[in-house]
């Protein structure tokens, strides 16, 4: 069995007392240089590492960032958040930070958990996901002066000019503009298959399609379906029976799959249909899709949280990072 | 700003010294009962919580379990591991444990990270995933006497009778036996679409199909494809052109999707095709699939790691938990 070296081992190797080793670690100025060198040499030789608890007590820093891990809700787009957590773990590790994941069943429950984790000094900072207007978690974190950043904008009046808190998000309209530009190569009749109006994310994605169509002097049919494959399939089947379409830009991969199945069922498997989120489903079915680039979102979140210095900071002025998504083009080639 | 109460605050409220508060927390027996009661009352009134670092130094326990989070590899089945991490986070939380996720690019890199985390006292135990035969991480953890459990069996001679280390896994053969039993309701010609032989997981799933077919006095064609939607689609297109099939049991959801697309393209969208992993893709496309139940895997892992006492323990005899998957039946109803 290999055992980690202790302060005692270092003291023995350097021929000094434990107290002297402790002084070298904590108050090196009071130790004679010749002794200090001997102790530092022993620390290096033995590969001694200070216990995390001791480091935490000294610095009051845990070097740990907390993030809520939702319980698995199913659905095709949950993978975007998981990719974000994966990327955050990798990039945080490169910056010497740990990621602690916690569970919570409601915003109130999450605030309770955050209270325990911050009171206990177990986390220095928080990454919020699934932000809502007037988010109670953000308000609570502000009163605690706990550094945080959210994946998702605060959905307030001036998120871009004067954000209520630091956030990173994906520019949904830029994504559907690019998707629409590509779809128009197939012909002028480009429909949008969207969710019912009123969701910030869905309205934003619809705007990109509308703007790009207007740029080309066009408008097209707007179809509507809830986030469900069979519902989207039924809507698209009706639409295709009613009118001729050259391509369809969809608000999500689920709706795109439904649209593709409807097209397949009438022998139009070649109809260009573009999804959103570039999930494994879109990849598996060979559908084009707008990719949110969660890896860039993770890098942006850490930039806002840690700043150029690499320390976790409470930003003086809340900033934001808006990631431009990219279109992944696939052709089923049938 | 609300600030967490300190030992100083407790001392002031109880009218005692900081040392007395510390004694109540660490060596209560030496404090007079009347004083102890007063201090405990102040602790309760103020909602004082001991700093995690102090608790860690005292108990040498971090109450934290480490788990490697792979970088996102894409593919439809990665979601199974993510569901496992989600469930682990929830159930660990219920047992008062935290989950720390870490990144690593190779087994050697992972051992390095585990060394830092265990040396630093940041984790008490480890959950390994993606086990291989003669896993270097398992060997290393054993020499360090660090408690661990793996999702995935050690793939050694006698995993069930005398496992090399504690593990939880899913009984793949039981899953395909159930899938085959269901498929046989459609008719006797039930094919298996598997991966090339040689993978422990794939061979195990094929065995279940073969056994259930033999029980019915049948055998069926074995088709083979790599884990790729277009490859499976091509294989199934050839097979359907060659022979009549009543149903297909597949080794994965990716191969099942390929098979379904091939069937759709010849107007046989109603051909029963059963996948494995019950991913969002299978759900979205309305395909039946064998569900690994990663939530039960998470519960089993924590049982093996923490035992009935709720403490992280090094099991005296490595045990195992084999989760029986369940078939989720869907009919596209076309």
Which CATH number do you get for residue A22?
1.10.260.40
Asked if A178 and A265 sit in the same domain, the reply is: yes
Q: Which residues of B touch A50 (CB under 8 A)?
A: 120
pLDDT given at position A1: 35
pLDDT given at position B313: 57
When pLDDT is averaged across residues A68-81 and rounded to a whole number, the result is 68
pLDDT given at position B66: 94
Q: Least CB-CB distance to A145: which of B1, B55, B72?
A: B1
Mean pLDDT comparison of A67-76, A298-307, A319-328, B3-12, highest-scoring range? A319-328
What does the alpha-carbon distance between residue B41 and residue B22 come to, in Å, rounded to a whole number?
Answer: 14
In chain B, pLDDT over 70 holds for what percent of residues?
Answer: 87
Asked if A43 and A188 sit in the same domain, the reply is: no
pLDDT given at position A334: 36
* pTM of full prediction above 0.80: no
Q: Which residues of B touch A85 (CB under 8 A)?
A: 69, 101
Q: Which residues of B touch A123 (CB under 8 A)?
A: none
User: Which strands form B326-328's sheet, in the order they lie side by side?
Assistant: B222-224, B190-194, B247-250, B273-276, B288-291, B326-328
Q: Over the stretch B84-101, which tens digit does the pLDDT of each residue have?
A: 888 899 888 888 888 999
B107, exposed or middle or buried, with CB in 10 Å at 0-12, 13-18, 19+? middle
Prediction ipTM score: 0.72
pLDDT given at position A35: 87
Shortest distance between the Cα of A217 and any Cα of chain B, in A, equals 36
Closest Cα in chain B to A293: B72
Among positive and negative, which fits the CA dihedral A70, A72, A74, A77?
A: positive
Shortest distance between the Cα of B168 and any Cα of chain A, in A, equals 20
Q: Least CB-CB distance to A86: which of B2, B72, B283?
A: B72
Are B103 and A89 inside 8 Å of each other by CB? yes
Nearest to B124 by CA among B192, B67, B86: B67
* Averaged pLDDT score across all residues of chain A: 85
Q: How confident is the model at residue A247 (pLDDT cuts 50, 70, 90)?
A: very high
Q: Over the stretch B5-21, which tens digit does the pLDDT of each residue have?
A: 778 888 999 999 888 88
Burial B191-201 (b: 16+ CB within 10 A, else e): bbbbbeeeebb
Q: How confident is the model at residue A73 (pLDDT cuts 50, 70, 90)?
A: low
For residue A4, pLDDT over 50 is answered with yes
For residue A235, pLDDT over 90 is answered with yes
Q: Name which of B5, B64, B281, B314 to mutate to probe chain A: the one with the most chain A Cβ atoms within 10 A of its Cβ.
A: B281
Phi-psi sector, A60: left (phi>0), alpha (psi -120 to 50), beta: left
Asked if A267 and A314 sit in the same domain, the reply is: no
DSSP label at B324? P
Are B51 and A82 inside 8 Å of each other by CB? no
Tell me, rounded to whole angstroms, the distance of Cα B1 from its chain centroid. 40
Q: Which residue has the higher pLDDT, B18 or B247?
A: B247
Mean pLDDT comparison of A52-61, B13-22, B190-199, highest-scoring range? B190-199
* Residue A133 lies inside a defined structural domain of this protein: yes
Asked if A186 and A286 sit in the same domain, the reply is: yes
- For residue A26, what are the domain limits? 7-50
* Residue A142 lies inside a defined structural domain of this protein: yes
What does the alpha-carbon distance between residue A263 and residue B191 come to, in Å, rounded to a whole number?
Answer: 28
Q: Least CB-CB distance to A120: which of B49, B89, B279?
A: B49
Among positive and negative, which fits the CA dihedral B216, B218, B221, B226?
A: positive
DSSP H or E stretch at residue B81:
helix B78-94
Q: How many domains does chain A have?
A: 3
Q: Which residue has the higher pLDDT, A44 or A297?
A: A297
Q: Which residues of A touch B286 (CB under 8 A)?
A: 229-230
Q: Which residues of B touch A102 (CB under 8 A)?
A: 89, 93, 98-99
When pLDDT is averaged across residues B179-207 and rounded to a whole number, the result is 95
Q: Which residue has the higher pLDDT, A42 or A246?
A: A246
When pLDDT is averaged across residues A239-266 and rounded to a whole number, the result is 94
Asked if B77 and B166 sit in the same domain, the reply is: yes
Phi-psi sector, A150: left (phi>0), alpha (psi -120 to 50), beta: beta
When pLDDT is averaged across residues A20-27 and rounded to a whole number, the result is 75
Q: Over the stretch A92-130, which tens digit does the pLDDT of each residue have?
A: 888 888 899 988 888 888 999 898 888 888 898 999 988
What does the alpha-carbon distance between residue A245 and residue A212 come to, in Å, rounded to a whole number?
Answer: 17
Burial A87-113 (b: 16+ CB within 10 A, else e): bbbbbbbeeebbbbbbbbeeeeebbeb
Are A69 and B89 inside 8 Å of each other by CB? yes
For residue A205, pLDDT over 90 is answered with yes
> Contacts by A162-167 with C-beta closer than 8 Å and gap 24+?
A163/A318, A163/A319, A163/A320, A164/A138, A164/A318, A165/A138, A165/A318, A166/A304, A166/A305, A166/A315, A166/A318, A166/A319, A166/A320, A167/A131, A167/A304, A167/A318, A167/A320, A167/A321
Instruction: Give residues with Cβ within 8 angstroms of B68, minimum separation 6.
Output: B101, B102, B103, B104, B110, B113, B128, B129
Q: How confident is the model at residue A313 (pLDDT cuts 50, 70, 90)?
A: low
For residue B126, pLDDT over 50 is answered with yes
pLDDT given at position B158: 79
What does the alpha-carbon distance between residue B146 and residue A16 come to, in Å, rounded to a whole number?
Answer: 31
Shortest distance between the Cα of B210 and any Cα of chain A, in A, equals 28
* Residue A57 lies inside a defined structural domain of this protein: no
Q: How confident is the model at residue B77 (pLDDT cuts 50, 70, 90)?
A: low
pLDDT given at position A317: 63
Task: Tell me how far CA of residue B83 lies from CA of A70, A318, B130, in angstroms.
Answer: 10, 33, 15
For residue B302, pLDDT over 60 is answered with yes
User: Which strands form B98-102's sheet, in the order they lie side by side?
Assistant: A320-323, A167-170, A148-151, A125-129, A64-68, A98-102, B98-102, B64-68, B125-129, B148-151, B167-170, B320-323
Q: How confident is the model at residue A19 (pLDDT cuts 50, 70, 90)?
A: confident
Q: How confident is the model at residue B334 (pLDDT cuts 50, 70, 90)?
A: very low
pLDDT given at position B3: 61
pLDDT given at position B170: 92
pLDDT given at position B107: 86
Q: Are the beta carbons of B263 and B240 closer than 8 angstroms?
A: yes
pLDDT given at position B44: 72
* Residue B69 lies inside a defined structural domain of this protein: yes
Asked if B262 and B193 sit in the same domain, the reply is: yes
Shortest distance between the Cα of B62 and any Cα of chain A, in A, equals 9
* Residue B228 lies inside a defined structural domain of this protein: yes
User: Which strands form A326-328's sheet, in the order they lie side by side?
Assistant: A222-224, A190-194, A247-250, A273-276, A288-291, A326-328
Three-state secondary structure readout of B193-234: EECCCCCHHHHHHHHHHHHHHHHCCCCCCEEECCCCHHHHHH
For residue B53, pLDDT over 80 is answered with no
Q: Are the beta carbons of A213 and A219 closer than 8 angstroms?
A: yes
When pLDDT is averaged across residues B36-62 and rounded to a whole number, the result is 69
Q: Name which of A43, A52, A78 to mutate to probe chain B: the one with the most chain B Cβ atoms within 10 A of its Cβ.
A: A52
Give me the phi and psi of B272, to 5 degrees please. -65, 125
Q: Which residue has the higher pLDDT, A30 or A190?
A: A190
pLDDT given at position A312: 62
Q: Name which of A49, A71, A103, A124 to mutate to probe chain B: the one with the most chain B Cβ atoms within 10 A of its Cβ.
A: A103
What does the alpha-carbon distance between residue A39 and residue A24 come to, in Å, rounded to a whole number?
Answer: 7
For residue B241, pLDDT over 80 is answered with yes
Asked if B192 and B283 sit in the same domain, the reply is: yes
Q: How many CA atoms lie within 13 A of B128 on its CB side?
A: 28
Give me the phi and psi of B107, to 5 degrees please. -55, -40
Asked if A237 and A220 sit in the same domain, the reply is: yes
For residue B23, pLDDT over 80 is answered with no
Are B76 and A102 inside 8 Å of each other by CB? no
Are B286 and A90 inside 8 Å of each other by CB? no
Q: Which residue has the higher pLDDT, A1 or A193?
A: A193
Q: What is the CATH number of the domain that holds A314?
A: 3.40.50.2300
Asked if B105 and B120 sit in the same domain, the reply is: yes
For residue A167, pLDDT over 50 is answered with yes
Are A102 and B98 inside 8 Å of each other by CB? yes
Shortest distance between the Cα of A135 and any Cα of chain B, in A, equals 18
In chain B, pLDDT over 90 holds for what percent of residues?
Answer: 41
Q: Which residue has the higher pLDDT, A310 or A172?
A: A172
When pLDDT is averaged across residues A34-58 and rounded to a whole number, the result is 70
- Six-digit token string for A51: 């216990």
When pLDDT is averaged across residues A254-275 and rounded to a whole number, the result is 92
Are B102 and A98 inside 8 Å of each other by CB? yes
Nearest to B152 by CA among B322, B318, B279: B322
pLDDT given at position A327: 97
In chain A, pLDDT over 90 holds for what percent of residues?
Answer: 41
pLDDT given at position A142: 85
Q: Least CB-CB distance to A53: which of B53, B82, B285?
A: B53
Q: Least CB-CB distance to B280: which of A64, A76, A122?
A: A76
Asked if B43 and B137 sit in the same domain, the reply is: no
Q: Least CB-CB distance to A101: which of B2, B52, B89?
A: B89
pLDDT given at position A301: 92
Shortest distance between the Cα of B234 and any Cα of chain A, in A, equals 12
Q: Which residue has the higher pLDDT, A136 or B33?
A: A136
* Averaged pLDDT score across all residues of chain B: 85
* Residue A1 lies inside a defined structural domain of this protein: no
pLDDT given at position B333: 40
Residue B148 pairs with which residues in a beta bridge? B126
Q: How confident is the model at residue A44 (pLDDT cuts 50, 70, 90)?
A: confident
pLDDT given at position A111: 92
Asked if B154 and B176 sit in the same domain, the reply is: no
What does the alpha-carbon distance between residue A64 and residue B75 come to, in Å, rounded to a whole number?
Answer: 30
Shortest distance between the Cα of B239 and any Cα of chain A, in A, equals 19
* Residue B74 lies inside a defined structural domain of this protein: yes
Shortest distance between the Cα of A164 and any Cα of chain B, in A, equals 18
DSSP H or E stretch at residue B237:
helix B229-242
For Cα atoms A289, A291, A294, give the angle at the middle one, nearest 5 degrees. Answer: 155
Q: Are the beta carbons of B250 and B217 closer than 8 angstroms?
A: no
Q: Three-state SS for B131?
A: coil
Instruction: Give residues with Cβ within 8 angstroms of B301, minimum separation 6.
Output: B88, B127, B149, B151, B168, B321
Asked if B269 and B304 sit in the same domain, the reply is: no
Are B87 and A69 inside 8 Å of each other by CB? no
What does the alpha-carbon distance between residue A207 and residue B23 come to, in Å, rounded to a whole number?
Answer: 64
* Residue A283 lies inside a defined structural domain of this protein: yes
Q: Three-state SS for B3?
A: coil
pLDDT given at position A333: 40
Are A79 and B75 inside 8 Å of each other by CB? no
Q: Which residue has the higher pLDDT, A29 or B143?
A: B143
Give me the phi and psi of B165, to 5 degrees please. -160, 165
Are B285 and A257 inside 8 Å of each other by CB? yes
Q: How confident is the model at residue A54 (pLDDT cuts 50, 70, 90)?
A: low
Give me the phi and psi of A150, to 5 degrees please. -120, 145
């Amino acid at each position: 069995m290999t055992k980690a070296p202790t302060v005692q081992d270092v003291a023995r190797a350097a021929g000094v007392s434990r107290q002297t080793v402790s002084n070298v670690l904590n108050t090196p100025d009071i130790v004679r240089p010749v002794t200090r060198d001997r102790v530092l040499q022993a620390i290096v030789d033995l590969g001694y590492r200070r216990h995390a608890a001791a480091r935490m007590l000294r610095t009051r820093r845990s070097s740990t960032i907390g993030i809520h891990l939702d319980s698995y809700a199913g659905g095709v787009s949950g993978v975007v958040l998981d990719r974000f957590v994966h990327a955050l773990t990798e990039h945080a590790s490169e910056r010497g930070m740990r990621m602690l994941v916690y569970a919570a069943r409601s915003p109130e429950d999450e605030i309770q958990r955050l209270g325990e984790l911050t009171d206990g000094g177990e986390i220095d900072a928080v990454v919020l996901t699934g932000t809502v207007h007037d988010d109670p978690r953000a308000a609570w974190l502000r009163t605690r002066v706990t550094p945080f950043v959210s994946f998702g904008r605060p959905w307030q009046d001036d998120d871009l000019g004067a954000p209520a808190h630091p956030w990173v998000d994906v520019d949904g309209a830029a994504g559907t503009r690019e998707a629409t530009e590509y779809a128009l190569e197939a012909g002028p009749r480009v429909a949008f298959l969207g969710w019912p109006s009123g969701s910030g994310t869905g309205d934003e994605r619809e705007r990109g399609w509308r703007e790009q169509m207007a740029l080309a002097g066009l408008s097209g049919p707007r179809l509507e379906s809830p986030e469900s494959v069979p519902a989207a399939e039924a809507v698209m089947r009706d639409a295709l029976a009613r009118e001729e379409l050259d391509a369809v830009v969809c608000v999500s991969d689920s709706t795109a799959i439904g649209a593709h199945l409807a097209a397949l069922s009438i022998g139009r498997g070649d109809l260009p249909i573009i999804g959103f989120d570039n999930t494994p489903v879109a990849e598996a079915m060979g559908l084009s899709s707008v990719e949110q680039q969660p890896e860039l979102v993770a890098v942006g979140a850490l930039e806002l949280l840690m700043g150029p210095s690499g320390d976790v900071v409470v930003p003086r002025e809340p900033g934001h990072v808006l990631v431009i998504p990219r279109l992944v083009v696939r052709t089923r080639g049938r």
